Structure 1
Amino acid sequence: MGGQYRIKGDKYPRMRRPRRRGRLVVVTVASAAALGMIGWGTLQLIDVFTGGGGKASAAGPKADCEAGATPSATAADPAKLPAPGKITVNVFNATTRSGLAKQTADELKKRGFKIGDVGNATKEFDKKVKGTGLFLGPAASLNTSLPVLATQLGTAERRTDAARKNATVDLIIGDKFKELAKKADADKALAALAKPRPTPGASKNGC
């Protein structure tokens, strides 16, 4: 070679390849990221095909019990509910239709209730009961006699009278009254009322 590119002397420059450390770092990071994405995608596919229920199954019945809803306790204690034969019912008619008090009292008697006074409602309630009826009893009857009597007319209102000294309860027939509940339905309601309720925290699967 000649001219300005002519090599002089007996030493030649070394021709080294440029270092590629930067490229190696980039390749390593990219590979790690790709492996991570593949692993994450695999886990997502497993979760999809298994329905995501692995944890619940692994935890066993105890975890399912803890997640279940807690039923509420009933206000009436079945052990304290009197039988119909121990409940004396006064039947009063607060409507303009005649004969309802006696007719209803007779039906309640057939269903095992004791009957007290039968007649028209007092001025306090006469023509003032707009619903199907009103059950009225002493304070102690709220969770004892009244729930039992209410199985015969579930739509009637319930009230207590703190001034009442005796244990009798009143059924005051209202404007929307047609008849008592069908005996079969009333018997089912009475049987259900007498069953002990689940204690708070218990569930149907025995947890």
Structure 2
Amino acid sequence: MAADARAGESRLLTLPNLLSGLRLLGVPLFLWLVVVARQDGWAFALLMVSGLTDWLDGYLARVLDQRSRVGALLDPIADRLYILAVVIGLAWRDFIPWWVAVLLPLRDVLLWGLVPLLRTRGYTSLPVHFLGKAATFNLLYAFPLLLLGGGDSVFSTFANIFGWAFACWGIGLYWWAGVLYAWQVRTLLQQTPPLPRTREGGVRG
């Protein structure tokens, strides 16, 4: 049973991983649609598909028992790259102020700085908790609405209002999740002894 579990975790070609890979391919396509082609309708549709696959890949991984280490890495990477691409695209088009485009990636930069500390304890990352998923959920709903809120119609006005409501919640939860993650790293460093070092000065895995 242990061997089967390890084999499952090492699987690469699974349906959930395929969906995560397709989401990654959509990142540069979204930027092209928004910044270059200015096809906001197609960009909106792409964001909707991305949000659907974000939920679907996790659901299929559980239902089909196709969880894998690759999938556990691909899913959050795809989420963060989409958030980065969307805030850059929307800020470029003046749908959102640039401080929003800086605030969200800044949190990830600060957390990436904690990875070397995790490696000293034999970890590369910590599990994504519900708060982080809730933040991503709010942001992935906010961005399409803000994209639709750039017009002058009544519909655009309502889209802009609801988009900013989701965005404010998403940004707050995103940073709150980051603070909790940093606290988890602090607790882990206090409770887990560091790995022994090799003769070359590196950390023994």
TM-score range, shorter chain: under 0.3
Structure with the higher fraction of residues in helix conformation: 2
Structure with the higher fraction of residues in strand conformation: 1
Under a length normalisation based on structure 1, what TM-score does the superposition of the two structures give?
0.21
